[in-house]
Amino acid sequence: MFDSSIISYNISTSPNFNQVTDMLNTAFDRNKNLNGLIFHSDQGWQYQMKYYQQRLTDKGIKQSFSRKGNCMDNSLMENFFGIMKNEMFYGQEYKYKTLDILKESMIEYIDYYNNKRINLKRKGLTPIEFRNQSLYKYNIN
């Protein structure tokens, strides 16, 4: 929530538990100090699995579920998906002749979003620039 960056992702044609654990492992590998973090999600089946919940607990992460029919806890991701669809997909569907082309375009968009897309709420910085500036300012490692 701090900088709106995409920390980890996994793109699949169908949701499965391996996809979710791979995404979680990647996030854990990239970020060592997660104690006290609040993980916001909807009530999807994958987030209710004991193994998944235990992995969060082991890292000191608190899990926060939104209520049924209320996407407030997951609103940041819902907002990102809306932005991504508006900026790279709607009106351009013809460009994606195969799922592989769509997947590669999504990967490129996430990189663009994190490293090149500025936002006024972040004082004209990209998510990664905003994070790095804050880490430098507060000397947090």
pLDDT single digits (tens) 71-121: 666 777 888 999 999 999 999 999 999 999 999 999 999 999 999 999 888
Please check whether residue 104 is in contact with residue 95, taking contact to mean a CB–CB distance below 8 angstroms: no
pTM: 0.84
In order of their start, the domains of the chain are 17-138 (3.30.420.10)
- Angle 127-138/99-115 helices, nearest 10 degrees? 40
